[in-house]
Each structure stands twice: as structure tokens, then as C-alpha cells.
Amino acid sequence: MANISRRNDRREKEREAAAENRRELIAAGLNRRDLLKMGLLTAGGVLISKKGLSAHPTTRSGFVLDDDRPISPPTTPFVEDMPRLPVLKPVASLTPTPTIAPNTAAGEARVVSHQAFKQFPPLRYYELSQCAGLVRMAPPNELPQQRIWGFNGTTPGPLIVERYGTLGSPQQGSILVRQRNNLPPENGGFGIPSVTTHLHNGHTPLESDGFPCAFMERGQFYDHHYPNVYAGINSTHPGVGDIKEAMSTLWYHDHRIDHTAENTYKGLVGPYILFNKFDSGDETTGFRLPSFGDGQNPLTSFDIYMVFSDKVFDNKTGLLAFDLFNTDGILGDKFLVNGKIQPVLHVSPRRYRFRWLNTGPSRFYQMFVLGPDNSTKPFWQISTDGNLMERPVEVTSSRFSIAERVDVIVDFTREAGKTFYIENRLQQDNGSGPLGNILVEAGQGQKILKIVVDGRSVVDNSIDPASITRFYGFPNTTDPERIVRTFRFERGNGQWLVNGRLVGGCRDPDDIRFAIKRNSVEKWVLQNIRPGWQHPIHMHLESFQTLTINRQPPKNSGLIERGRKDVLRLEDNVEAVVYFRFRDFVGKFPLHCHNMVHEDHAMMILGQIDDVGDTKTLP
């Protein structure tokens, strides 16, 4: 025992020394390129250990053990209430008035004209200021206030709640969100005040999508036009779009090339919900899912957005820490819901809809509802990535990696007086992804949220998910494809590649590597043949459907694996085939890994949609 303890003491000192030295390098403003020149970085992208920069041991399999990440100071769990995210209110007008052509004279950062402004004139305006804010993430006196970057100075940002238009007036859903960059020049160690805001899962004209190279610098603004229309409006389902392409749980976040992990970790994430007359937000109409209400009142609001993130805090200062030199992926040892570490939610004895979003940067979850005596409470999963499945599926857990969303219905009707926990039981020791499917025992995982059923009894007009036999159904996947393309996600030189290359960066013309023909069908083969690494692959503009995984149709009922997603959790030794329709809008977009650290180093490929397309099968 004495031996082990002595060795751990030494490791602890090395870990502290390495962290200290890395802090000094970051404070000196040196980037990876500088370090490579100075010989402090190996060709593999790892800080060399002999200078005391890295306490990383490397295993025989080549994995870097991620045990020199800092350990956060202790915090007391389940003290503070989980915040319900406030709903953003529209503004009556914007100054200057939004224009179709970029208003560069007035400081707009956009360089491409709005392509669907006349077809879907925005009926409501919103404005968000990206700025620094002081927030408390832990109970008082446990961690200092954190200087975050957030939307209107908060993280997560305010909830945008919108509604699709209807037949005959699809423009009813159209909005414009003006983003302003009011970030400070100093970053406190990480983050850059040069941003671009992506609406994740939006079927959005691409000049408003938050292209990773469409930078908005300090002092500038950027008008994002979100028509909020079903895909197919100009093609397969003219006029109103395909209801089977309805989306519900989206989010917005920074997407700056090379710096997305830092900027989102620093706070630039926010939730977005779309309702329609079926998924109506009112439990007395449509599919009769639990009511959204005003999102705040616990006696009328039963549809609750939960933003999960994991973070690590500097052991000495208690301030949020981000390791710029970790390229495997960053794991936090503190778990936050809606900006608070391990909070408490009080509910009434009735059904609730929870919308679960994982903002990473690098952790995968398998969430269970843990009940009294380490029991596991079943619940209903109704969506994947914000898109309702064909029907609800009863499950005992939901797995989701970075940027994936699942909506679930949990029934607390007969649970008055009891206490539950949202518990992650998926074992993950390294930012590269979980190693296999190892689950810990009930009660031995990470308890992230405590739920106490001590709220007042209220009427429940929502319907039992067991009696819902069909939402919209899935769109067909039988129309023939124009082309099959293959994308290999792989590792090289300690960085992350797609088809053998890093993303080229934002040189003109933005390193566009393939072109899709508008209003065509494509099949994509997504490959990850390297053992041990997992990549949540994200595509913009359209949801896809999974046809096969390792040449087999999706397992079990297949609904969860098959159903319209925008992130494919590409596990190791996997080849997946997915089906896409690219409709309605043109422009440039990225395909990338959503482990945000992989994305920044630089597992991304840029393409475009135009009216010609190309025939590159291996772009």
C-alpha cells in the first residue's frame, strides 16, 4: 500500500506541475503552432513530458491516459434548484432595419444576401448580445463567480420558442435573430471573441446557418433568418413542406472554426424549440404531450429543457479551466444542468416531458432514472435529435453523445413523496469516447440531477405514451440516390482527419471539397475503422435516416437507430450508410465530428449545395 501511495503522491505532484506550466503557456498566448516550432509539442500533437508539461503516460495501445487533467475543488450536490430557462421575448423593431443584402456599412458581418427573405418575410424579430457575464455554478461560498461568455450574458442562453407556419401561410413561422458580438477582447485563458452562431438541426438558408468561416468580429452584428419551415417547401412538398420533417428540440451555439470547443465551453450555447399544431405545447390539443405553459410556472409548465454539460474547475482558483493542449477530448468532473452543478428539480405527481441536450465538449451519456432502493424507472423516449420518432418507445435508458438530443416522457403520477436521480451509467475514462458499452451498477454512476416529487397535485391532461401509436411517421427512403459518397473519419499525426485531410481552414474559397445538387438524394457511407475512438458525426441543413450499420439494418425495433437524426454516433469499427435529401436552400456547410475537441483539430470537411453538384464519391 505504501508503495502505491508514494507513487500516487509523485503522480499528483507531476500533475500539478504540468497543469501549472500549461497555465503559464496559455497565459503567454502561445498556440500549438508556436509550441511545435519551439519543440515543445511532439509530431503526434502531445506536449512532451520531459519539460514537465505533460504527465500523460502513453499505454502500449497508443492511448494517452487522460489523468493529468485538473481535479475540481469539492462541491456539495443537490443544494441549488435547477433553473428553468427563461423564454426570449421578441423585440418590436431592430435598428438598423434588417436588409436582404448585407448591411456592411452599419457593421453587419454577413457577406451573402438572404436567399429566402421575400418568400418567408420574418414576422418576428429577436436580438441577442454575446457578452461576458458573471454567474454562479455551485452553491454560495463553494466556487467563485465564473466569468462566462453567454447569450445576453447567460449560459445556457435564453430559450427561443417558435411555431411552424401552417398550410397557406408557412411564413407565419419566419423569424429573424440579430446576433451582436459584444464580447471583451481579453479571454481569461481560453475562448476567442470571433464567433459564428449555428442553429443546430435548423432547415435554414445556409447564409444564416452559422458557417464556421462566417466570422462575426467584436462590434459587429449578424442577421440570421430562420424561416422555420418543413423541408421540401420548394421541391417534394411545394407550398408547405413535408410534415414528416418536423423538428422540435434544437439548439444554437458558437461554431467558430478551430475554437468551437473553447467558446461553447465558455458558455455560448442556448436552447430552441419548435411547436406546430400536432406537437403543440398544449396537452389538450394535438399529440397531447405535456404542456409547455410559460416555461416557468411549475403548476402549468411540464415540458422542461435540460442542457447537460461537464466541466472542470481549477483546483487552486476554483475558476473554469479548459486545457488547450488536449486533443483527445476534454472530460469534466462536474456535471451541470442548465448552468448549475448537480441541481434539484421539484415536480408534481404527473407526466413530464424532458428535453435532454448534451453540449459536451466530449462526454457521452447513457442516462437512467434511478429510483428508491437503486431501482431503475422505465420511461418513454419520443424523439431522437429533436425529431419525433414514428411512435414512443419504452426504454430503461437513453444514450446520447455530444450535440444529440432525446425527448423523453417520465411518469411521476404514482410517485408522490419519492426521490429520483437522472444518472449517467456509461463508463468513459478518456475524451476519445467510451471504451465499449460498459455500464456501472445502478446507483454507482454519476448522479446529475435530483428530482423530488413533492410538488402540488395538478391536473394531467397529457396522454399516456403507451396509447400513442403514431406521430408523423418517417419520410420514405426509396427514391434512388444521385450519388453515393464515402467519408472516412480517421486519425493522423495526433490530429483528426476526414478522408485523409484536416479541414483547410478559411482561405478563399473556404476549402470546399464537394458539391451537392439541390433537391437531390444522396447516400453517404460513414466509416470509423480505428478501434477505441468514437465520433458523433453532424451534418447541417437536413436530417438523415440510417439505412444500415455494418451492412445490417438497425437493430431492435430500429426506431431509435433509424429515425431522423442530425448526429450519427459513429462507434469504432463501424460503417454506417445514411440517406439524405438536400432541399430548398443553397450555400456552404460543414460535415464534422461533434466531439468539439476533435472538431477543432480538425475533423471537418466543407461542402456546398448548388444547382449543379459534382460526382466526387470520396471527396
Contact residues for Cu ion (CB under 5 A)? 535, 593, 595, 598
In the complex, least distance from residue 283 CB atom to Cu ion, rounded to whole angstroms: 39
Minimum Å gap between C-beta 595 and Cu ion is: 4
Residue type (1 letter), 400: F
User: End-to-end alpha-carbon separation of the chain, Å?
Assistant: 55
Rg (CA), the chain: 23
* Residues 595, 306: Cα–Cα separation, whole Å: 19
- DSSP letter, residue 281: S
Q: Which is nearer to Cu ion, 54 or 595 (CB)?
A: 595
User: What is the edge-to-edge ordering of all strands in the sheet holding 512-517?
Assistant: 512-517, 604-610, 587-593, 535-539, 567-570
Shortest CB 433 distance to Cu ion, Å: 7
Strands 175-181 and 124-135 come out as: parallel
The CA-atom distances, in angstroms, between 190 and each of 31, 253, 258, 488 are 11, 17, 12, 30
Report the residue number, 264 or 595, with the smaller CB distance to Cu ion. Answer: 595
| For Cu ion, the closer CB: 40 or 402 | 402
> Taking the complex as a whole, how short is the minimal distance between the CB of residue 400 and Cu ion, in angstroms?
15
Q: How far is the CB of 304 from Cu ion (least distance, A)?
A: 29
CB of 593 to Cu ion, least distance (A): 3
Please, which residue, 340 or 535, has the CB nearer to Cu ion? 535
Q: How far is the CB of 515 from Cu ion (least distance, A)?
A: 25
Q: Which CB sits closer to Cu ion, 583 or 594?
A: 594
CB of 94 to Cu ion, least distance (A): 38
The contacts of residue 579 (CB under 8 Å, 6+ apart) are: 477, 481, 521, 523, 544, 545, 546, 547
Nearer to Cu ion, 535 or 562 (CB): 535
Q: Cell numbers 413533492 correspond to what residue?
A: 454
Distance CA 522, CA 217 (A): 35
Query: Shortest approach of Cu ion to residue 571 CB, angstroms?
Result: 11
Handedness of CA 504, 510, 514, 518 (dihedral sign): positive
| Measured CA distances, 303 to 314, 355, 366, 394 (Å) | 35, 8, 21, 18
Query: Could you tell me the three cell numbers for 368?
Result: 437512467
Q: Choose between 185 and 531: whose C-beta lies nearer to Cu ion.
A: 531
Asked whether the beta carbons of 389 and 382 are under 8 A apart, the reply is yes
DSSP state of 329: -
Nearer to Cu ion, 252 or 496 (CB): 496
Distance CA 152, CA 610 (A): 35
Closer by beta carbon to Cu ion, 229 or else 567: 567
